[in-house]
Homo-oligomer: A and B are copies of this chain.
Amino acid sequence: MSAPTLVTVDDIRSAAERLRGSILRTPLIPAAWADPARPLWIKPESLQVIGAFKVRGALNAISRIDPAARRRGVVAYSSGNHAQAVAYAAARFGIEAHIVMPEETPEIKVVRTRSHGARVVLCEAGQREAVAARLVAETGATLVPPFDHPDIIAGQGTIGLEIAEDLPDVATVLVPVSGGGLASGIGTAIRALCPHAEIFGVEPELAADTAAGLRRGSPVRMSIQERNRTIADGLRSEPSELTFAHLQHVLTDVLTVSEDEIRSAVAELAVRARLVSEPSGAVGLAAYRRHATPAGPTVVVLSGGNIEPALLADIVGASAAVGVDQGH
């Protein structure tokens, strides 16, 4: 098996040109209440139009499909945010989107995917890829994978370009890892532009396959049932050969966080940063709180904000009861 070709910072620069004007160029939000030795900024990808970074990769990938093929539409499988991203991007291109989602997907993500005009096909956990392949065969549409594609990685990597532009002396970047497209792209950009920065992936302890895999030097597989235990429903995928190769190349290490730490970080983001985060989006801040990350300017990537309102109310209400606000 030959080593996969890695995405370059020039691929990411080209993606940034393609995305200009179609995405929100998110600012770095200073977190003045954080540790002064590790001054903290939050990159709020939750403010993208579909509430998550995934719109970057989806728009880049669809813009790269040959126009004749693109007219036949696109197919995607996703636990949520990639689904909305492909649905939104397809609508912008005026093409049909078929979105395969596992049955346990939060209702809010199904509703919003349909709201962009996409056709949603629900399936059993673990069957998504097979169902998507069948739809591709039936319709002639093009599969837009959630992370296993250079154009997806390059699109997500534009976040890293923006971090390097806005904070060139960044010392530490903390990025959620699931399928690994986000961390592969950001890591590639930061490695090229800020060579002295450390880049940490972050995973829930309950879905820490990449932490174990990088330590061993080859992917470690966890069952779907195991990975589904975490509240971070966006972090239940595992890297592909392509993203694993990127992660090996660009990450300093992978840090893990507990379920309680994820909940606390969701509360802290709402109360201190006035940003709504889904559990998956908050793992970077959770890692900053738990681990003694290196001194110096630190960026946490808040990857998405699509949380069920009842869960947000529950987490923020519980934090009010224990006074999270006065803890830092």
Please tell me which one of the listed residues B88, B275, B308 contacts residue A275 in the complex, with CB atoms under 8 A apart: B275
The CA of A313 and the CA of B309, in the complex, are separated in Å by 9
Of A26-34, A70-78, A120-128, A184-192, the stretch lying at the interface with chain B is A26-34
A247 within 8 A of B: no
- Chain B contacts of A44 at CB under 8 A? 47, 274
Task: Report the minimum CB–CB distance from A317 to chain B (whole Å).
Answer: 3
Q: Are A316 and B325 in contact (CB under 8 A)?
A: no
User: What is the size category of the interface that chain A forms with chain B?
Assistant: 35 or more
Q: Are A46 and B274 in contact (CB under 8 A)?
A: yes
- Chain B contacts of A320 at CB under 8 A? 308-310, 313
A295 within 8 A of B: no
A239 within 8 A of B: no
A108 within 8 A of B: yes
Please tell me which one of the listed residues B25, B27, B270, B310 contacts residue A276 in the complex, with CB atoms under 8 A apart: B270
- Chain B contacts of A321 at CB under 8 A? 310
Task: Report the minimum CB–CB distance from A29 to chain B (whole Å).
Answer: 5
Q: Which A residues contact B (CB, under 8 angstroms)?
A: 24-27, 29-30, 32-33, 44, 46-47, 49-51, 88, 108, 111-112, 115, 267, 270-271, 273-277, 305-306, 308-310, 312-314, 316-317, 319-321, 324-326
Rank and list the top 4 A-B pairs by shortest CB-CB distance, nearest first.
A274-B305, A313-B317, A309-B320, A274-B276
